[in-house]
Structure 1
């Protein structure tokens, strides 16, 4: 690394020149699972929340989306800062076609899921899909980038297929090749 280049700038350059566009964490964001900052959920409550989620998934698999939403809602009532339930309920709401409520849940999942990579990668990607469906290209692009940065493969593909990102990558690669000569 060039001694005059900051770590953040180096991360950005790594993204630009990466053939597979892997994303490096940005300054101030630590993706290490041991640094999760979410409120601690007592073990007995966590067991109950997981039971409710399993039951909800079972109902969804049987095409009982309303029942699944009810179970996820029950989990949220028991623990209003449990990001996973918001994220999963948003998916069920999306299936039902209620994108407005799904967006609200995804905002909550992101708010309560800070530091929880598994939650954030899904929530940002789901939110990006809804925004894209609604014609909010800039919002979708930003959320896909966040989903990709947190490791979601669908989001990474969306970012890679972005023509502006490809064009930028090509221009910078060409400029750097000329500089090397």
Structure 2
């Protein structure tokens, strides 16, 4: 990507600063988040005691280890893990981490179901379409619901409030995960990997541009809470950055054409 500092057209210092902020992921306001490692893992409003937290972490670890023990977990293994996460969440509905882990387990199940029903699962475009195929749309809806609930539970009441290390990590991962899915949905809407009838029903009425803008917002927050990949994706999907980029490129092209005619 062309650096603003090398642009040929003359820009005011303010324009340059604005454009640099749009194009440079490192200038995103991640510094606006205060991470305080001395805070308890989760806000007191979630009513998760330290005793309960230790037990919940151990139960999560046990479920995840069972999944990781098998290089290619079977459908039965995945469904068993999902059942365990369901039980955990039923007993502790305010525990954010369980929702993100259940969402990831659902992702594995979606891929498994799709790959066993498609003739060429190795095809990149087909693999991208897995989350938005008719046979997996309900599971996809559950993934979005779980990521949304995790974000709701972990997000501080005020943007100015400090967050714990665990909160920041979860919010970075959950926003980035959801942004990635929304970006896939935008691609599907454009007809690259699917069609208008793919994905969760609540997303079908949205245009590809709307989905991409939603993805950009999630990437922004993912980057704000510390995910470096999300910072880069936020820049790439930011509609204002793309618009300004097109304007700058056109101005540079005209400037260079003018120089050649002299």
TM-score range, shorter chain: 0.7 to 0.9
Q: How many residues align?
A: 159
Which has the bigger relative contact order, CA under 8 A and spacing at least 6?
2
Matched, 1:16 2:21: yes
TM-score normalised to structure 1 length: 0.73
Which one of the candidate residues 179, 182, 189 is aligned to 1:131? 182
- Distance (whole Å) between structure 1 residues aligned to residue 227 and residue 83 of structure 2: 27
Displacement after TM superposition at 1:19 (Å): 4.6
| Contact 1:129–1:140 (Cα < 8 Å) also in 2 | yes
The one-character-per-residue Cα deviations of 1:23-82 (angstroms, maximum 9, x if unpaired) are 3258xx743233863524112211221111101211221223222222222221221110
RMSD, aligned CA: 3.0
Report the 3-state secondary structure (helix = DSSP H, G, I; strand = E; otherwise coil) of the residue aligned with 1:81: coil
| Contact 2:22–2:235 (Cα < 8 Å) also in 1 | no
| Contact 1:55–1:71 (Cα < 8 Å) also in 2 | no
| Contact 1:124–1:143 (Cα < 8 Å) also in 2 | yes
- Flag structure 1 segments of 5+ consecutive residues without an equivalent: 1-11, 175-181
Q: Which residue of 1 aligns with 2:227?
A: 152
Q: Which residue of 1 aligns with 2:206?
A: none
- Larger deviation: 53-62 or 17-26? 17-26
Q: Which residue of 1 aligns with 2:49?
A: 42
| Contact 1:60–1:67 (Cα < 8 Å) also in 2 | no
Report the 3-state secondary structure (helix = DSSP H, G, I; strand = E; otherwise coil) of the residue aligned with 2:215: helix
TM-score normalised to structure 2 length: 0.52
Displacement after TM superposition at 1:93 (Å): 1.1
Matched, 1:92 2:105: yes
| Contact 1:59–1:65 (Cα < 8 Å) also in 2 | no
Which one of the candidate residues 120, 125, 146 is aligned to 1:105? 146
| Contact 1:31–1:150 (Cα < 8 Å) also in 2 | no
Flag as ranges the 4+ runs of structure 1 deviating above 6 A: none
Q: Which residue of 2 aligns with 1:4?
A: none
Which one of the candidate residues 28, 31, 41 is aligned to 2:34? 31
- Flag structure 2 segments of 5+ consecutive residues without an equivalent: 1-16, 111-138, 157-166, 187-210, 252-262
Q: Which residue of 2 aligns with 1:121?
A: 172
Report the 3-state secondary structure (helix = DSSP H, G, I; strand = E; otherwise coil) of the residue aligned with 2:48: coil
Matched, 1:54 2:61: yes
